[in-house]
Chains A and B, each alone.
Chain A
Amino acid sequence: MNADDFEKELKGHSFRKVPEHWRAQILRNASAAAETERSSSDRSGGLSRLRELFWPNPAAWGTLAAGWIMIVCFRFATSDASASKNMAPDTYAKLRSAIEQKRELYAELNESTAQIPAEPPKPRSQRRSEIRCA
């Protein structure tokens, strides 16, 4: 068996053909996978741009954020206090008038009790021992 002949013999046997229906499936899946990767890389590209923007001086950006937080907190606290200030006079006036009313009512009650004449004491009935002595 000559080496060249044997190699020629082997070469002469061709492989099976790739199934025809694979073409559409493989190309569709490959395109879909590429599209998915492209969209995810776009998203990560946006994130990386943000990172590029903030990263050069993270301490400065952090300080600025903290400053804003303090301003917001301060504003919230002061607006709360002024609201309570606005409410206080109204409440105080109501309370004062209620006290005044109570005081007047009390005074009227005192006056009316003073004007009613005191009833004379009823005659006491004689006790059995007093009758016996008499």
Chain B
Amino acid sequence: MDLEDLYDHHAQALFAFLLNLTRNEEDTKDLLQEVFIKLARQPAALEGMREPRAYLLRLAHNSAIDFFRRRAAREKYHEQFGADCPEIFESSADADELAFRQALSWALRDIPIEQRAVVHLKLWDGLTFENIAQILNISINTAGSRYRYALDKLRERLRPLYDEIK
């Protein structure tokens, strides 16, 4: 599979994952660029791989973590991190749905990145805890517990709106 095919198959998933982590479109673009540069430099990296998506998500996650470390060292990024909350979900013509998406976007911003990564991979990429554990280089139990903590926070935060809408 050449670079263009890889982009067409996986760029959307990587974009969503990185945007959820960085909450910044420019940073997301830089990191997506970084992932594809790594792939272009090592064209044989994906040969014979059954789950290229998992490998690419791991590359993206590692790039994001490196990026946060660099930023943290340079300008105490974590203090300002996610101060603004860009639209990470698609827009909607339905006002209730739009309101829920905005609330979800803010709620995701307020949970730690480690938990957010697990929630994203579980909910929006449909991965198992085993796969998530491999991608994030953590144990399966850690992946499961991070997911539960994050989901509890999201539920607590979104309950009023969710009950109102449903």
Q: Which of A3-11, A71-79, A82-90 contacts B (4 or more CB under 8 A)?
A: A3-11
A15 engages B7 (CB within 8 Å): no
Q: Which of A1-59 contact B (CB under 8 A)?
A: 1, 3, 6-7, 9-11, 13-18, 22-23, 25-27, 29-31, 33-34, 37
Contacts of A34 in B (CB 8 A): 37, 40-41, 43
| Central interface residue in A9, A18, A27, A37, by most chain B CB within 10 Å | A18
Q: Identify which of B47-55, B57-65, B129-137, B151-159 touches chain A.
A: B151-159
Query: B154 touches which one: A10, A23, A31 (CB < 8 A)?
Result: A10
B3 touching A29 by the CB < 8 A rule?
no
A22: B residues at CB distance < 8 A = 11, 29, 32
Closest to B163 in A: A1
- Is B77 part of the contact surface with A, judged by Cβ < 8 Å? no
Q: Which of B12, B32, B101, B123 contacts A26 (CB 8 A)?
A: B32
| Smallest beta-carbon distance B163→chain A, Å | 7
Whether B143 is near chain A, meaning CB under 8 Å from some CB there, is no
- Whether A31 and B162, one on each chain, are in contact in the complex, defined by CB atoms closer than 8 angstroms, is no
Main secondary structure of the interface of B (DSSP, over half): helix
The contact string, 1 if C-beta is below 8 Å from chain A, for chain B 99-138, is 0110010000000000000000001100000000000000
The total of chain B residues at the interface (CB under 8 A) is: 35
Contact of A27 among B7, B151, B163 (CB under 8 A): B7
Q: Does B16 contact A (CB under 8 A)?
A: yes
**Are the CB atoms of A33 and B123 closer together than 8 Å?**
no
Q: What is the CA–CA distance of A33 and B40 in the complex, to the nearest angstrom? A: 8
Q: How far is the CA of A16 from the CA of B3 in the complex (A)?
A: 22
Q: How far is the CA of A23 from the CA of B32 in the complex (A)?
A: 10
Report the Cα distance A18→B18, complex, angstroms.
11
Contact B89 A27 (CB under 8 A): no
Q: Does B90 contact A (CB under 8 A)?
A: yes
Judge whether B87 and A16 touch: CB under 8 Å.
yes
Of the candidates A14, A15, A29, which one forms a contact with B33 in the assembled complex, judged by CB atoms under 8 Å apart? A29
Q: Is the CB of B90 within 8 A of A17?
A: yes
In the complex, what's the smallest C-beta–C-beta distance from A122 to chain B, in angstroms?
115
**What are 13 A-B pairs at a CB distance below 8 A?**
A1-B163, A13-B90, A15-B19, A16-B88, A18-B11, A18-B15, A18-B32, A22-B29, A26-B29, A26-B36, A27-B36, A30-B3, A31-B3
Not counting A16-B89, A23-B7, a sample of 5 additional A-B residue pairs whose C-beta atoms are within 8 angstroms of each other reads A11-B123, A15-B19, A15-B20, A27-B3, A29-B37
